Chains A and B, each alone.
Chain A
Amino acid sequence: MNGEHVPDLDFQKEPESIIVIDDDYAMRLSCSQILTKSGFQVETYEDGARGLEAIARLKPSLVVVDLKMPGISGMEVISRLHDGDPCIVTIVITGYATIGTAVEAMKAGAYDFLPKPFKPDELRLIVRRGLERRCLLLRARRAEMERELLKRRFITFVSHELKTPLAAVHQYLDVLKHLGDGKTSGVDREVWLGRCLRRTEEMQEIINDWLTLAKMESERLSRRRIRVDLARIIPEIIKNYEDLAAARGISLRSELPGEGYLVWGDPNCLTVLLDNLIVNAIKYNKPEGTVAVSGEVIDGEVTICVADTGIGIPEEYRDRLFDEFFRIKDTACEEVTGTGLGLPICKRIVSEMSGRIDVNSQVGVGSVFSVHLPACREPDEQGAKEEAASESQVG
């Protein structure tokens, strides 16, 4: 992005590298021995110039530097060593007489100081704390970079996904205008108008997706609660996706009995939830695969499972699956398009209804998304009244 070096967070891979810069040979030797014994990779340098050169080349995690040296001073080293990696932690070693300077050094960006003489354990402790500090800095930095990346991807997404259908419609209309009435013999105007309508519908879907999410983010998601029988709405939803599934040779079926899966919720939100899960199950499936929607009611909890026979979700992605804009970068699903907003919307809807959503998956075999919602135990009449009341409010 900006060419900045942000080292890997995986500390287990190789020992942390530490550079010690001190003009005193005995000090270099003892620091090196103490830290090498603790498992660090240590390099020592006798002056600031060589030290800075080595920092640029070796990109260490931590630098121990003496303030008082001939040539480039320790202070100058501190002010220059963050050029390549802003997360390098610096520890200043100094005689008692220069503690004032050590404080200055910390103001300039050093992490801590160690007055001479010091015990081996004091050095080890301060280095360990320094490395913990670095770990936090790196995490914060990574998080910041990821946020930045998401922002940039969002702009790309808005730009591309919204402008593409709009451009398609514009171009149909523009070409019709250019060709005029007399020259459109090879053009089926009805087909083109139909396509224009479909593309504007597509845009509406995208905008709706965003609005749903935006509403959720501002916590204005519908609090409407009526009694909904999922066994009744699921077949309706499935019907909407039969064409999409058939086009990919996928069989789509509901394994729910006709009724009895009652929850309290907003039917629109529940439809959005199931839409998303079913569409994903179709999109991430294999040709000739199946999508099965099943359910059970146990101990006051309704569970709806959407199972596919698709490509599966690698373990390492499952934690982030419900994050906004997260999309798996995998060759198995590189051709699948999506907004990266579907599962975050699902998670939000489910948690608004005091439920939870989880996933079981096996790579190459398939995934099962399970939605668990509190069951509605109200007798039918009460539910019907609530339903009527709620409908009248909306109408």
Chain B
Amino acid sequence: MSHRLGKILIVDDDVDFVSSLSAFLEAQGYTSIKAHDGREGLRLAKQERPDLIIMDIMMKERTEGFFTAQEIRRATGLGDVPIFVVSALYSKLDGFEIPPEVEWLAHDAFFPKPIDMFRLLESIRERVPGNREPVAARLGKEE
């Protein structure tokens, strides 16, 4: 198997979202791990020790992603893993406009769905070491 750039855990109850994102990340050279709810996400985070986690907010419970992120933060050795929160909710919806520095929220970046793949890849690259190639080149963009 070829050298992989890093391991990314995707936690989302939307199967389609997980498969397309996973295929994209794999094509970019990352190993992707899929979890379909908060509990599976937490288990895989502990077991696989990913370099980065992409987490949906509203899964079975309205704020399942937030609480899973918090749990992952508490888990030994995973306090520093970057967590990107994604949601189809309008980002400025009442009650979800929470600054990332709030401790219980414990996420590093927010991406509204559908995700801007270019921005996502850039942000992953900033957080996950071992990749020096410019994002634009890897997405096949001209400049």
Which residues of A are interface residues toward B (Cβ below 8 A)?
152, 155-156, 159-160, 163-164, 166-172, 174-175, 178-180, 183, 186-187, 192, 195, 199, 334-335
Contact = CB atoms under 8 A, between A and B. Distances in A.
B102 interface: no
B61 to A, nearest CB: 7
B24 interface: yes
A199 B114 CA distance: 14
B17 A186 contact: no
A175 B117 contact: yes
Contact of A152 (B19, B89, B94): B94
A152 B62 CA distance: 14
A175 B23 contact: yes
A175 B60 contact: no
Given A152-B94, A155-B93, A172-B16, A167 B23 contact: no
B109 interface: no
Interface in B14-28: 14, 16-17, 19-21, 23-24, 26-27
Given A171-B17, A192-B20, A179 B114 contact: no
22 contacts: A156-B89, A156-B93, A159-B88, A159-B90, A160-B87, A163-B90, A163-B113, A166-B114, A168-B16, A168-B20, A171-B16, A175-B20, A175-B117, A178-B27, A178-B140, A180-B140, A183-B27, A186-B27, A187-B23, A195-B16, A199-B16, A335-B60
Q: Is the interface of A mostly helix, strand, loop or mixed?
A: helix
Interface in B91-118: 93-94, 113-115, 117
Contacts of B61: 334
Contacts of B93: 155-156, 159
A159 B93 CA distance: 9
B23 A164 contact: no
A183 B14 CA distance: 24
A170 B114 contact: yes
B44 interface: no
Given A168-B14, A195-B16, A178 B139 contact: yes
A156 B92 CA distance: 11
A175 B90 contact: no
A183 B23 CA distance: 10
